[in-house]
Each structure stands twice: as C-alpha cells, then as structure tokens.
Structure 1
Amino acid sequence: MVYLPTILFSMGEGAVIPLIPVIAANMGADVAAAALVASALVIGQLCGNLPAGWAVARIGERFTMVIAGVISMIAVVGMVLAPVIAVFAASVFLLGFCAAAFGLARHAFMTTRVPLEFRARSLSLLGGSFRLGIFVGPFVTAALLQVFGDEHAATWFFLGCLVVMVLLVLFGPDPEKTNPPVVNHSPLAEDSGEAVSGSIPTFERVGIFRTMWRFRGVLRRLGLAAASLSAVRSARQVVLPLWGVSLGLDAQTIALVVGVSGAIDFALFYASGQVMDRFGRLWAAMPAMVLMGTGFLVLSVTHDGEAAVLWFGMLAAVLGVGNGLSSGILLTLGADVAPAQDPAPFLGSWRTLTDAGGAAAPLIVSGVTAIASLSVASAVVGVIGLLGATGFIRWIPRFSPRRSPGD
C-alpha cells in the first residue's frame, strides 16, 4: 500500500512521457513547439508543489492522492481527445500538476510515519519505485506500439494504471491508519535559520508562505545545494543523447549507452539508502556529486579525441553510478529538515526548489551550447556539480541516525 500505488502511477507516466513530443508533432507542432509541449509536464510539476503542500496539510495524504489520480484521469482523456495542440499542452500541464501532488503526498506520509533510523532506506525505496516505473514504462510503450501501432495506446495504458491506483488507495488498507505517526526527535528539523527565543510550541499548523519564511535559512542554503543536484541529474538526461548525436552515433547506439547508464542508476538505488542510514547523509550526497561533477568535466575534454566514443560510454556509466548513489537523497534531506508535526507545507517549498533546479538545467545546457559549444555546456554542468558537493559538505547537518539527539 505504500509502494505499489507509486509504481503504478510512475509506470503509466513513464509510458506516456516518450510519446508526448511525438503526439504533439503528429498534431502539427514543429520541433520547437513539440519541445515546449513536452516541457509543460515539468512546468506543471513545478507549479503543483506548493498547492500540493497545502492540500496534504488540510485533507491528508490519502485523499490528496485520490484527487490527484482522478484529475490525472481527466488529463489523460484530454490528451487522447484533444482537438488542438493547445488543449493537448494544457492536459500535459495538468498531468504534471497532479504528479507533484501525488509525489508530495507520499513523501509527506513517509516523513511522518517512518522512524529516523531507517528513513533513508525507506525513501530510497520510494525513489526506486519512481525509477522502476519510469524505467519500465518505455518498454511497455514499445510493446503497445508493436501490437496496436497507435501512440494513444500508451495513454490508455496510463489511464488503466490510474484507475487501479485510485481503487487501491480508496479501498485498500489505509497506511495512515495502520501506521501511526512516529516522533522523530531529530536535531535537523529545528534549523530554520532564525534565532529562537522562549518556548518552542509542540505543534502549530501554518500556511505555505509562513513556512517558507520560517525555514528560509534552510531553503536558501541546503535547498540550493539540493537544487544543484537536481540540475545535474536533469542535465545528464539532456547531455548524453546530445553528446552521442554530436559524435555521429546512430540512434541504437545512443539508446544502448543511455540505457546502460540508466540500468546502473536503477541498480544502486537501495545502496544509497544503506549508506545514508549507516554513515550519514553526506556520504551519499557528496560522492554522488563529486562523481557526476567530475564525470561531466572529463567528458567536456574528450569530444575531439581518438577514443571519444569509448570515453562517452565509460563516463555515461560513471554518471549512472553517481546518480544511483544519490537515489532518495533529496527525499531524505527534505524529510530530515521538515517540521516533524506538519511537514507538507515545507516539503512543498523544498520540492519546488529542487524541481526548479531540474527544470533550469536543460535551459542552461541549451543556452551555453548555443553561445559556445556542447563541451562548454558539459563543463558548466560539471562545475555546478562540484559547487553542489561543496554546499553539501558545508550545510548537510552532521548527525548519525544511530545516535540519540544528545550525542
């Protein structure tokens, strides 16, 4: 009941994502317009985090997921029946908006219900559930295209996943009732960036913007480091295919290299949680950022060498290892620094910041490539990764999950 709804939602979404620009192009959009329609998913997710935080705080995780699932059904039907490209783009935006609500609801549930000593492993499994769906979804799409020959078959598959997910959440055992909130006496959640005087209330429900102001110090420091990780992750998905194209590789070879990198990434998701729970959050975040930052920097100087293709394959694997080691770190850090009693408004702000980093990365790569070259863009991403590693070293709170707060 915790992970299966996530797998269903992400598998349906993963089946649809590759076909969004294809369907847009079939509706008459040029390449630029099709790319813009595809970006509506990310923009919708970015815009949906703050309202999702408000909804989870007011009506709870379960009903937020149900409402998000029902609205997602409407969005999917809109994608199938859209008469013009504008309606299709609006449906994609709405789908991203609901994906933000679904993801935040499950994140808030895990934050309040999972004991601190194995929080990272549980959240890495949650991140792995998302990755499993996104990883398997395109293979489902390929099979459906082979059988039906119609791009809309994947959207109907997503609709079926949503129906099963909503029924499961509505009529299955409610994890909010079977798993009561746990009290995590963590020193991490108290750092709001403000001086505290007088007594500290045990619980006070506040709004989204008051929460953002109260925790502005955490969001400004650790949140920006987290956004840099999200940016490097997103840049990997853009740079690797473009790099293969710039080397003159065929689509099959590029897909193979990117697929191997993704498989390595997926294989390591639970190892990240083990490292975080046993040794601390820094020992997953910092090596991951150093690996990815260094990988992009090395990649930037290999383009014109004799072994450029070999370096491309090797460094794609390195980036996969780095991304895999960072699995669940953004979820875990957000849970660590969120207020224990009412985490949803803070998590809405946290996820907005990290999603903004992910949304900005393709724009950075595109802009730098247009001004200079793809090699320079790769180097810029590498620098962002190393700066993010420095930020994590400076601002990740030092604590061991195996110690008591007073240790």
Structure 2
Amino acid sequence: MTSAQATKPFSLRSIAVPAFGPALLFCIGEGAVLPVVALSARDLGASVAVAALIVTLIGLGSWFFNLPASLITLKFGERWSIVGAAAAGALALTAAGLSSVIPNGLWLLAVAMIVVGMAASVFSLARQKYLTEAVPVAFRARALSTLGGVSRIGIFIGPFVGAGVMQFAGISGAYWVGVAAMAAAAVLSVTIPDLPAVGGSGDAHRGPEPTMRGIARSHAGVFLTVGAGILLLSALRASRQVVIPLWADNLGMDATHASLIYGLSGAIDMLVFYPAGKLMDRKGRQWVAIPSTVIMGTALMLIPLTGSFVGLLLAALLIGFGNGISSGLIMTLGADFSPDRGRGQFLGLWRFIADAGATGGPVLLSGVTAAVSLGAGVWATGVLGFAAAVVFAITIPRLRHRRNY
C-alpha cells in the first residue's frame, strides 16, 4: 500500500453499495409483507386475535433470537451471517407464500414469521457489527444513522412494491416480492469483498473469546444506565406507531386519512437521518439523544389535545422529526460502548434490551388505556420520552464521542 493510499480520506460513498444495499433490499422485503400477514392469517381461518398474534411473532422471534444471533455472527463472521440471514428470510417468505395452498397453512405461516424475525435479528446484528468495525470512529454515527435511515426507506417502499405486484398475483404477490428482495440481498452480500476493518486493536484476538455472561457482568454498569435509556427510547418509538392510528380512529377518521397522517410522519422521519448522524459525529451523542426524546415525548403528549385532522397531522409530523433525528442512535451508542473483544455478545445483549423496550411500550399503552383512557395511555407513553432524555443527560459521557475503552 502506498503512502497516498494509506492516508486517503474515508468516504461513506466508497462503501455505500456493500454496506447499505443489502439492508435496503432486506427491508423492502420486510416492508412488502408486513401489511398482509394478518390478512393472510384471516384468509387461512384465524380469528382477529390469532391473526394479530402471528404478526407479533416476527417481533418476538427477533427479540428472543438476539442472543443466539451474536453467537452465530461470532462463528460465521459478519459477511456470511448477513448472507445466511437474508437467505433464511427468503426461504421463510417462500413458505409463507405457499401457506395458502397446503393443508395446515396457518401453522406454516406462523413458523415462517418466527423465522423471518430470527433472520432479521441475525441480519441486523451482523450488519451493525460489520459497520462498527469497518468505519472509522469519526464517521460512525453517520454510517449507522444512514443504515437506520436506509432500513426505514426500505420498510416505507416495500408496501408500495408489494401492492403493485398484488394487483396481478393476489395477496401471495407480496410474499414473492419479499422473496425476491431478500434473495437479492443475499446475492449482493455474497458477491462483494469483505470491508476492511479500520483501526482494529492488536489485542482483539488474544486469549479466549469472552462469554455472554462475562460480557453481561463486565459491562453491567453500561447496561443498567445507558441501557435503561435505550429501553425507554425503544418503548417510545414502538408506542408512537400505535398511537397515531388509534387516536385517528378516536377522532372518527377513516382508514385513508389515518394512513395519510402515518405516511407523512414516516416521510419526515426519512429525511433527517444523515444530518443527525453528522451532528452526532461532530458534537457528540447527547446533541441528538436528548432533543429527539424530548421532541417525541412532547409531540405524544400533544396528541390528546388535538381534535382535528390538521392538529393530529402536525403532532405526527413532529413525532416523525424527533424519531428521524434519532435514526441510528441505538446502534451508535451500542457501538460506542462495545468492547473490541466480545463486541458481538455485547451487541446481542444491547439489542435484546432495545427489543424488550419495543415490546413493552405498546403493552404500557394498552394497560393504561384499559385502566383509564386512551388519552391517559398516550400521555403515559409521552412521559417515556422525558424519562429517556433524563437518563441520556446523566449517563452518556459528556466528552466527545471518541471511545477510549
């Protein structure tokens, strides 16, 4: 390597296709099938409750597989874990697409959704670890915010692609879109060269690999402090996905108006991820962590005060902005605090905490709504934003983001 090559400045564009292409394709596949899973279950004879449960199996499969996912990534490496996860997702969606034409198809659909969740867990953890080790620390937040933003773009585009194919192939067409997208993600991942690790520690490969229990013990302080903020942020994000359509229904809006508000909120969400990542890289993580959670908390607490389409739309746009600037924040903080040795195990535990919050947020909303009212439930979820802001203000190091541990 020449001196000029060694000092060549890093550019995210140089790794755009290998780093972000598979993520975009995988999430297009996910997005294509998410709106139709419940409908497929209903067509197979499931009750409304069972259909909702089958949709939930995707998230549960991802949550509970986070810890095994770290071991898979450790054994096979980031690149081949990404390839395998995308291939497994494609096979699972193939089974889901065939569930309507075989006996006991409902059971096949349920198992397929669990596998999709497991595949998403491995894929997400491996790609996060991949970028953490391949991108210089000075570009870390931008890289991981872009990864989060690209994933959201894929989830946003997927339903439209699926809807177009369903015009000709029926409801199973959405699954074939998912199969094609995830298979393409696997092919793209296997045909590209490994990304070079930047600035790896010479001590990273000495001695036995730390165990999951060892990492949990040695980093308990991080998990119990910053991890608490991650739990609250994840609960806040998941709750806002439920709050907007529920409050729209409470105001008597039809599905078209509710979808329009939700879609516009998502569009704002996708526009601000890169500037937020750049701000985190240049100023520090607190500059995004605290404002994003305060904005989302405030917007959620404003929702019960709205009584019209315009009022709810403005609150939803504010939520979208707050969520958009937090894109990649959870991954970035996980990367910052992860050790060079045992990074996969650390990130598996980190993602387990985040997914626990994503599961618990809607449960809190449901519980308070059942006990008091929907308005009270929305206020309770808004409080999570302020709680997360306090935790981040106290626990995130006030120094710049450079990692010295």
Asked if 1:95 corresponds to 2:112, the answer is no
Residue deviations 1:257-284 (CA, integer Å, cap 9, x gap): 1111000001111121011011110010
Deviation string, structure 1 residues 164-219 (Cα, Å, up to 9, x no partner): 222222222222xxx1242489xxxxxxxxxxxxx999765212222122211111
Aligned to 1:312: 312
Equivalent residue for 1:194?
none
Kept after mapping to 1: 8 A contact 2:210/2:341: no
Counterpart among 285, 289, 293 of residue 289 in structure 2: 285
Map residues 7-406 of structure 1 onto 2, 5 A cutoff.
7-82=24-99, 83-148=104-169, 150-175=170-195, 179-183=196-200, 205-300=209-304, 302-303=305-306, 307-401=307-401
1:206 match: secondary structure: coil
Change in CA separation of 1:202 and 1:19 when aligned onto 2, cut-off 3 Å:
same
Amino acid at match of 1:93: I
SS of the counterpart of 1:18? coil
Q: Which amino acid aligns with 2:110?
A: A
Contact 1:211-1:346 within 8 A present in 2 as well: yes
Q: CA deviation at 1:390?
A: 0.4
- State the one-letter code of the partner of 2:237: R
Q: Would the aligned equivalents of 1:111 and 1:343 in 2 still touch at CA under 8 Å? A: no
Aligned Cα RMSD in Å? 2.0
Query: Hey, what's the Cα distance between the residues in 2 that align with 1:84 and 1:365?
Result: 32
Contact 1:54 1:207 (C-alpha < 8 Å) held by counterparts: no
* Corresponding letter in the other structure for 2:68: P
5+ residue gaps in structure 1? 186-198
**TM-score, normalised on structure 1?**
0.90
User: What's the % identity of the aligned pairs?
Assistant: 37
- Residue 60 of structure 2 contacts residue 114 of structure 2 at CA under 8 Å; is this kept in 1? yes
- Structure 2 portions without partners, runs of 5+: 1-17
SS in structure 1 at match of 2:342: coil
Aligned residue pairs total 384
User: Which one is further off, 83-92 or 7-16?
Assistant: 83-92
Q: CA deviation at 1:38?
A: 0.4
Q: Do 1:112 and 1:341's aligned partners in 2 also have CA atoms closer than 8 Å?
A: no
Partner Cα distance (1:298, 1:66) in 2: 43
C-alpha deviations, 1:54-83, integer Å up to 9, x for none? Answer: 111222001111221222222112212233
The 3-state SS of whatever aligns with 1:2 is helix
CA contact (8 A) 2:337 2:403 kept: no
- For 2:164, give the aligned amino acid: A
The 8 Å contact of residues 115 and 184 in structure 1, kept in 2 or not, is answered as no
> 4+ residue stretches of structure 1 with deviation over 6 A?
199-203
Classify the secondary structure of the residue corresponding to 2:19: coil
Q: Distance in 2 between the 1:110 and 1:171 partners?
A: 17
CA distance in 1, matches of 2:224, 2:254: 43
Q: Amino acid of the residue matched to residue 27 of structure 1?
A: L
